[in-house]
């Protein structure tokens, strides 16, 4: 009698193949391509200047060499957070570093900051 009260899904045959979850439960760390000099941006300071949003001022201590800038890029948001950039600008700089490391030119992907709202809402 109790068996008849079970949900209908419990009566499915056990021979049905069920999708298995992958064995790893940790997020995979992707290797980031390093930032390197190009003809448009020969120095790290040029790259930060083209990115804008105050990155050239806030990340100036990391703009001495490409290795120092790559260490900030590999740390992710925490390395930039310590420099004092806000969340929106930090996400933009990381996005710009990602585009630059994939080989895109800063003149192609740089966007001006969003204007302040002039009206309620």
- The tens digit of pLDDT for each residue in 93-103 reads 889 988 888 88
d(CA 5, CA 105): 65
The answer to the question of residue 29 being in a domain is: no
> Does this model's pTM top 0.75?
no
- Structural domain contains residue 77: yes
* Distance, first Cα to last Cα, the chain: 61
Residue 115 has pLDDT above 70, yes or no: yes
Decide if 102 is inside a domain. Answer: yes
86: domain range? Answer: 35-111
When divided into structural domains, the chain yields a total of: 1
Is pLDDT at 13 greater than 70 in this prediction?
no
- Measured from the Cβ of residue 28, the count of other Cβ atoms closer than 10 Å reads 5
Structural domain contains residue 98: yes
Q: What is the pLDDT of residues 47-65, one digit of tens each?
A: 989 988 888 888 888 888 8
């Amino acid at each position: 009698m109790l068996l008849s009260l079970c949900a209908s899904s419990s009566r499915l045959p056990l021979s049905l193949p069920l999708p298995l979850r992958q064995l790893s439960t940790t997020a995979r760390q992707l290797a980031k391509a390093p930032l390197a000099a190009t003809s448009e941006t020969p120095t790290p300071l040029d790259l930060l200047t083209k990115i804008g949003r105050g990155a050239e001022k806030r990340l100036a201590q990391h703009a001495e060499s490409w290795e120092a800038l790559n260490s900030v890029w590999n740390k992710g948001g925490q390395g930039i957070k310590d420099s004092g950039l806000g969340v929106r600008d930090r996400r933009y700089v990381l996005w710009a570093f990602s585009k630059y490391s994939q080989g895109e030119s800063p003149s192609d992907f740089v966007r001006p900051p969003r204007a302040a709202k002039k009206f309620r809402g």
